[in-house]
Amino acid sequence: MKLVEPPSHSSPSTVVFIGRNRRGQWVAQEQNGLYGGLFVSRAQAIKYALFENGQHSETIVELPREIELDMGKSPNGIVSQRAA
């Protein structure tokens, strides 16, 4: 039996953005920064987004502009303060 980690999403209607960052890597990130990651291919970014959002392909948005992975947001969308 293979153990699979449950999705970290909080709502099936969460929007997940995918696109490339300035280094050409594929990024998938939930709109409020709850989860996200870097991927070597578009297919892997989509696969991850589908897993995390409960297989809701209609809530995945591919951006035509660059997107950078930002894991510094709190669950309510507020950017956390980082020590300098």
CB 64 within 8 A of CB 19: yes
Residue 15: the pLDDT is 94
The counts of H helices and E strands in the chain are 1, 4
Q: Are strands 26-30 and 36-39 parallel, antiparallel or unpaired?
A: antiparallel
Report residue 71's pLDDT band, with 50, 70 and 90 as the boundaries: confident
Question: Sheet harboring 26-30: ordered strands across?
Answer: 36-39, 26-30, 16-20, 60-62
pLDDT > 80? residue 58 = yes
C-alpha separations of 37 from 22, 65, 74, 83 in Å: 15, 17, 16, 23
pTM across the whole model: 0.71
